[in-house]
Structure 1
Amino acid sequence: MAKPQVPGQIKHYLQFADLTRAEYDYLLSRTAWLKERFKRYETWHPLHDRTLAMIFEKHSTRTRLSFEAGIHQLGGHAVYLNTRDTQLGRGEPVEDAAQVISRMTDIIMIRTFGQDIIERFAANSRVPVINGLTNEFHPCQVLTDIFTFVEARGPIQGKTVAWVGDANNMAYTWIQAAECLDFQLRFSAPDGYQLDRARLSGAALNHLMICADPRDAVKGADLVTTDVWTSMGYEDQNTMRMKAFKDWMVTEELMALANPSALFMHCLPAHRGEEVSAAVIDGPQSVVWEEAENRLHVQKALMEYLLCGQISATGSPV
């Protein structure tokens, strides 16, 4: 069912802002459809004989497993490439690698460091490229988190999301999502770890509140989310970060300030006793395991959409 790529019509997913609200409405609905079908053990192979190339410069558990299992469940197969084991790790230009890999595969997922790397790759690719994570953005994870919220609580429009922690790739992606999907994001981090105002558009600021005190961010929130205090690539700052963020742990006391029906999310892996207490992540408001599973179904919907366009419930193109 996958359609041939037409030059000039390739759609990439490099950051959350790459898609419209209408496209996200479709993807959220499509994810629910694919997940329900999967739970009923019903085969669905729209990507029969299609190949996903997975390029990893940063290690991963959930990203590799969800993409590899996802393309398999859609009827295709995956090829794992680690930059250390390919010519990319020996100095081959990103542009050259993109030309070659995209001529041998149908869709590409990249998990790397700088956003500029994936943008250069996509600019030279003949097939869709998906951002599996960069230092700047993590769109697949935030899309998953939004689906998890919608699945449990309904539309996220008009809701309040509290981000407690570092101004990392997740935080900036949540800001893009708030602007696109029309909800409020409250951000709280210690001094020295604030957002870069140069990266924030005027429209984004209309959906963003910066709180010096994490309690102000969480009060009345519908979703509380966080991440590790030391992201991949910043390990040399770990000791300094542990001290700076010590008052930004999501505890039972902090969660008690949120709406009684508020959910807690974490993209994992988590460090209990650092960014979140065990009582919260293992408690009744936590949906981290549902969140982890949903990476699989969200990314299936995304791959299907990038290769096939919108598909109706009967399986025909819209």
Structure 2
Amino acid sequence: MSLGPVMLDVQGLELLPEERERLRHPLVGGVILFSRNYQFPEQVEALVRDIHAQREPQLLVAVDHEGGRVQRFRDGFTALPPIRELGRIHDENPKRARRLAETSGWLMATELRAIGVDFSFAPVLDLDRGVSRVIGDRAFHSHPETVADLAHAYMVGMHQAGMAAVGKHFPGHGAVEADSHLALPVDGRKLVDIQAEDMVPFERMIHYGLEGIMPAHVVFSRVDSLPAGFSGTWLRKILREQLGFQGVIFSDDLSMEGAKVAGDVVARAKMALSAGCDMVLVCNDTAAADQVLTGLGTHDDPVSHLRLVRMHGRENPTRTQLAQDQSYRDAVRAVTGIA
């Protein structure tokens, strides 16, 4: 059985019988974990192992683990600073910032790989324009080339730890004030201005080998009337054809307010996949997830299957081995000292 195009969540610290059945549905391809799924490292490691055991090939297990405000696992994991701190260091010492970015990416990824998580939805490639409440210090910097520079180093670290990278939120969420979790943001800039600034980190990272991209639930009104994640113009024409991206396109959560312009949840899933997404996320709404699995119909895209399989994590040391590794202890000390 191949990996399906839907990523779901689960309710608690271990799988319920009905969740096991749901995860075996042929349309399911992955699970995203949240803070409610975490109690301590051994518990979440057992949960990940159980999720992986439900299917062959194994379901993808992902998490939002950027650092700062967005870090789902806390106790027993290194407290990662907001990546904007790396941008502040870059203003004074670019070489040191790049070194710390690589160390931060490696540390984030290696701690997650040690418990079996395949990948984090990171790094953020948005620009910190001082406008977006939901982005802010989740962005490396306000300057496109600096974001690309630090994100590249961060991804190198992730790769060293056996983890693929997912850049977000294409083509850039930093120029709108509204939070797409709560509203539908509209960016009225011309395409040429977006290409000259916000898209630069994405273009650079694609060239460097970025494996995944998540588009924004933002309408760029001078380009398309639909949010980027539902737009064939953005995903197929610009991202695939013009930028040459060959990796996985993940939708942002279809339960977010910014996605509701596309209709009911089944219509959203169909539109996102038709626009060019390889996998759609349906989070924090079990009824909606079941509606998608029931109403989506057959979806078989061999190219998407190949892309998704490449998101599986590679071998990594266990937590016990990490604890005995001097380079790991050095990384923890370096990263916790950033702020």
Q: TM-score, normalised by structure 2?
A: 0.29
Q: TM-score, normalised by structure 1?
A: 0.31
